[in-house]
Chains A and B, each alone.
Chain A
Amino acid sequence: MNIHEFQAKALFEKFGVAVPRGAPARSAADFGPALDQLDAKGGLMVKSQIHAGGRGKGVFKDGFKGGVKFAPTREKALELAGAMLGNTLVTAQTGPEGRKVQTIYFTEAASLGKRPNGRDDEYYLAILLDRTTSRPVIVASTEGGVEIEKVAHETPDRIFKVHVDPAVGLQPFQARQVAFALGFSGDLLKQCATLVTKLYAFFWEKDCSMVEVNPLLVTAEGRLLALDAKVSFDDNALFRHPDVLALRDLNEEDAKEIEASKFGLSYIALDGDIACLVNGAGLAMSTMDIIQHFGGSPANFLDVGGGASKEQVTAAFRIILGDPNVKGILVNIFGGIMDCDIIANGIVEAVRETGLKLPLVVRLEGNNVEAGKATLAASGLTIVSGDSMADAARKIVALVTP
């Protein structure tokens, strides 16, 4: 689960990680009271709150440029916020449909320090799981404010990593190692080690899957601040963090994905035109792949789980048909334990209930498969049967290709 920057920073503050002073506003009427809490002397930042990166370089649908902007005065901040709120921001990560901005976050602009060589004093800091070692890893770089993937690719020597042993947790010497690697000394060394320690405590206690601060910055006054904050949580651990779950913003999630999750279905919308309904995540992924292999384009990932019920199959059809781009459906079920006949009945019922007009190819395999195929054939519905995954994929691609 992802949260907004203003929510992440509120959590940072709770854990003692320094951030610029800020205040969120959800409506134009809230702009004034939010700004009243801040000191506009050094200027203000006006930041669109959406769950996608690349906001600064994003463009709004009405042509207004930049989802994160500097305002030298309170008046300018009000004007910029008015232009952003309710507008739809398109960034490199949102896709062409963009995201509607429903919250504006005002912060006091930090006075950016300079390094002795004249460069902006910006750094990168993140904590995430290293799958290779099954341990949390702290990633730090002197190259802040740019995409870390680019740094990793071009100058991997400028990325410093320290792994944390979960048996003992982050040790003070490791926090100092991070601070030394970033080139800090004196008071900043202490500030950095403290910040790393507190950020790790947050990561661990709140079951984060990733915490990213980019940039981490040193102000002209010599203060270390988390200028941006990107946080995501382990969905599997949300049951023990009701405070985190309360931060969930359903506006940022696909309505069909939310609907699917209510039925225990795992659904992800894609931009093709062949919908698929499959049991098992691995088989669902490879069903998408085989559609593409035979020249089609998958409209979604949909895993009905290992033991799909009739209700789930019907719900799955409804969700699939809610996507106007869908021109055909491929059902691929390997009924290992499940009775294929029960699945077949579910499909027949779902087709009748939804009044399906689109081409439908069904590939059933496994337990009681002959009865299942007979049920489909006896239904009087135009359901095309596929003998293997390849056969089924070829058939649905042929049916939707004009």
Chain B
Amino acid sequence: MSILVKEDTRVLVQGITGDFGARHARLSIDYGSQIVAGVTPGKGGQTFEHNGRKVPIFNTVADAARQTGATVSAIFVPPPFAADAILECVDADLDLAVAITEGIPVRDMVRAKRAMQGRRTRLIGPNCPGLVTPGRGDKSHGGCRIGIAPGYIHRRGNVGVVSRSGTLTYEAVWQLTCRGKGQSTCVGIGGDPVNGTSHLDVIRLFNDDPETEAIIMIGEIGGNAEVEAARWIKQHCKKPVAGFIAGATAPAGRRMGHAGAVIGGAEDTAAAKIKIFQECGISVAETPSDMADALLRIWKG
């Protein structure tokens, strides 16, 4: 197993005719993911072609889901329209909406998140690299890649990775792969202050997933999501967890690239989070070069 998506998960892409969406739809097709539909309002009936694959384009998410059996959407829609794209997935009762878009206004996300309460659809992101369940082929080919992560760095295995950041996730995945340790699923939850799925949500899923044997949790300054997850891990998690917190050198009150990465109070500094990680039995990587090794110190795989 894996979490959230499997090799055969059927995926639609909102914004497949834009440059960004098209580029990553092609890369996902090359990776062997099941990209079964595109959605661009007004371009329904056209097709998206790549390497001999023809992907039908629909006007609405509901049509695309009904006609192709897609259960997950990858959202590459520009920021002013992205919250609307998320809510269209909710209306179509998809299992999962993965919002890659960076720069969605906070107010839009506050409203969208409220509107999602009690609905079937889970949101990953926004402002995230997406998620990958590696395949079993060469360089993990045949996996489910949703978003913008490089597929080939993965290897199928038993470590779950969760992070806000894209490149820092790739760093951890590559360290694991280079040490012969594969991944069950790698989830980038995004760098925005309001997001759909938290560190804790993903940790719970990993804890319940029989294929996941160990977990790497990567966090950063700002907010208390990592702390909340760490406290839950101490109480409930049956699996070894290694962690890293980025932003030890970040000055207070400045936004470090991610809108969510701002030190607001004493509790959300890197030092405070690292201390809580240690108290909760998480093996802390001292540097980002040490993430896989921090896990291997407590888990032999």
Contact = CB atoms under 8 A, between A and B. Distances in A.
Interface of A: 93, 129, 131-132, 134-136, 149, 152-153, 165-167, 204, 207, 209, 234-237, 239-240, 266, 268, 270, 278-293, 298, 301, 303, 306, 334, 336-337, 365-367, 388-391, 393
B238 interface: no
Contacts of A286: 168, 244, 246-247, 287-288
A366 to B, nearest CB: 7
Contacts of A136: 110
Contacts of B260: 131
6 contacts: A152-B265, A234-B106, A278-B167, A285-B221, A289-B248, A290-B287
Interface of B: 27, 79-80, 103-111, 113-115, 148-150, 152-153, 163-171, 174, 191, 193-194, 218, 220-225, 244, 246-251, 253-254, 256-261, 265-266, 270, 286-290
B257 A270 contact: no
A168 to B, nearest CB: 10
A293 B103 CA distance: 31
A207 to B, nearest CB: 5
Given A286-B168, A337-B148, A390 B290 contact: yes
B224 A366 contact: no
Given A149-B265, A236-B106, A301-B256, 20 more contacts: A131-B193, A131-B223, A204-B107, A209-B106, A270-B249, A280-B167, A282-B163, A282-B167, A282-B169, A283-B168, A284-B257, A286-B244, A289-B248, A290-B288, A301-B257, A303-B257, A336-B167, A336-B170, A366-B174, A390-B287
Contacts of A282: 163-169, 191, 218, 220, 246, 257-258
Given A135-B110, A337-B27, A389-B289, A285 B191 contact: no
Given A282-B168, A334-B170, A129 B287 contact: no
B106 A285 contact: no
B116 to A, nearest CB: 10
A394 to B, nearest CB: 10
A237 B104 CA distance: 8
A134 B109 contact: yes
Given A282-B191, A288-B249, A389 B150 contact: no
A260 B216 CA distance: 33
B79 A334 contact: no
Contacts of A239: 79-80
Given A270-B249, A366-B150, A234 B105 contact: yes
A388 B259 CA distance: 28
B104 A166 contact: no
B261 A336 contact: no
Contacts of A152: 265
Contacts of A207: 105-107
A284 B80 CA distance: 27
Contacts of A149: 265
A110 to B, nearest CB: 29
Contact of A283 (B103, B110, B167): B167
Contacts of B104: 236
Counting from the closest, the 7 A-B pairs by CB-CB distance are: A282-B165, A281-B257, A280-B167, A336-B150, A282-B168, A237-B105, A390-B289
Contact of A280 (B113, B166, B174): B166
A127 B168 CA distance: 33
Given A129-B193, A280-B166, A292 B248 contact: yes
B84 to A, nearest CB: 14
Contacts of B223: 131-132
Contacts of A132: 223-224
A284 B247 CA distance: 9
Given A131-B260, A234-B106, A336-B153, A288 B250 contact: yes
Contacts of B287: 286, 289-290, 293, 389-390, 393
A281 B107 CA distance: 22
Contacts of B194: 129, 131, 134
Nearest to B108: A237
B34 to A, nearest CB: 20
Nearest to A336: B150
The winner among A129, A131, A152, A204 for most chain B CB atoms within 10 A is A131
A280 B167 CA distance: 6
Contact of A366 (B110, B170, B251): B170
Contacts of B79: 236, 239
